[in-house]
Amino acid sequence: MKNTVVTFQEAKQKGEKLSMLTAYDYSTAKLIDEAGVNAILVGDSLGMVVLGYEDTLSVTMEDMIHHSAAVARGIKDTLLITDMPFMSYQTSVYDAVVNAGRLVKEGRAQAVKLEGGKEVCPQIRAIVNASIPVCAHLGLTPQSVNAFGGFKVQGKGEAAAQKLLDEARAVEEAGAFALVLECVPKALAEKITETVHIPTIGIGAGAGCDGQVLVYQDMLAMYANMKPKFVKQFAQVGEEMRNAFAAYRKEVADGTFPGEEHTFKMDESILDRLY
Ligand code: KIV
Ligand code: NA
């Protein structure tokens, strides 16, 4: 069944949990789609887990379009949401609409995601008015890493919790179809989930959210740079890959690979006539 922003709304009403994973390329997207995951996020985490930057700030529109279009070619039923990179929407409402449009037209995104609360509500409203669904993102919003002074849990104190609840109401009111909550205490994420009518998708926000999202390299244990508390490793793919690469290296070195079964044959009498 094709997932859309409408089926997302219905899932919340029916109390059905939504699953989301990141992807950045065709072959991974195809596997995630075949597994029946509801949505793929082409996250700007791309900058860290694929491009090797220390944060997401250097990611460009061109990067996002390139990877979004690759993912789009791999999916059938999954809803494709693509992140708006740093400075593609903060600068003005006009920039936000133009860049959201590029992610749809060139990146084949079916929805876009941007970070922030009240300060980006004019952008959310304008993008939604252009018929592009918007997913909001609150809590630990990595594009604000320099303002936060690091990657830390958000919304712990009373004032911070009230602010987050107000921001959640504001992005819903601005027209967001879903809301990602990143690194928010479980109890506050539950309160926000009960308060808003749009599905909340948690990452490090507990089981009370309407859905969950993880970076696929994290949940496959492929990205060793850090292991946040909220990550569950569903398979040790990183280790499997390293072992396979080492086995290949060894077999090339000792001549075990390629074997006869991997080689092409010809009439070798031809060779005798070559000069
Ligand atoms: O970029 C990303 O992968 C994200 C998720 C972690 C929500 O924004
Ligand atoms: Na992101």
- Residue whose CA is closest, atom 3 of ligand 1? 43
Longest dimension (CA), the chain: 88
Distance CA 65, CA 130 (A): 19
CATH match of 5-236 with 3.20.20.60? yes
- Asked if 62 is an active-site residue, the reply is no
Distance CA 209, CA 150 (A): 24
Catalytic residue among 182, 194, 260, 268: 182
How much is the pLDDT for 275?
A: 94
Tokens 């009370």 found at:
208
CB pairs under 8 A, 24+ apart, for 202-208? 203/230, 204/140, 204/153, 204/228, 204/229, 204/230, 205/139, 205/181, 205/230
CA angle 228, 230, 234 (to 5 degrees): 95
Cβ(167) – ligand 1 distance below 6 Å: no
Cβ(115) – ligand 1 distance below 6 Å: no
The dihedral built from the CA positions of residue 246, 249, 250 and 256, taken in this order, carries a sign that is: positive
The answer for residues whose C-beta is within 8 angstroms of residue 133's C-beta and 6 or more apart is 5, 110, 111, 112, 177
Please report which ligand is nearest the Cα atom of 88: 2
- Residue whose CA is closest, atom 2 of ligand 1? 43
DSSP bridge pairs for 138: 181
Cβ(44) – ligand 1 distance below 6 Å: yes
**Binding positions for Mg(2+):** 44, 83, 115
- Alpha-carbon distances of 46 from 60, 88, 155, rounded to whole Å: 10, 16, 26
Residue ranges per structural domain of the chain: 5-236, 241-273
How confident is the prediction along the chain (275 residues), in pLDDT tens digits per residue?
Answer: 999 999 999 999 999 999 999 999 999 999 999 999 999 999 999 999 999 999 999 999 999 999 999 999 999 999 999 999 999 999 999 999 999 999 999 999 999 999 999 999 999 999 999 999 999 999 999 999 999 988 888 888 999 999 999 999 999 999 999 999 999 999 999 999 999 999 999 999 999 999 999 999 999 999 876 788 899 999 999 999 999 999 999 999 999 999 999 999 999 999 999 99
ipTM above 0.95, yes or no: yes
pTM of the entire predicted model? 0.96
* Residue 263, both tokens: 């080689």
- Rounded to the nearest angstrom, the distance between the alpha carbon of 145 and the centre of ligand 1 is 14
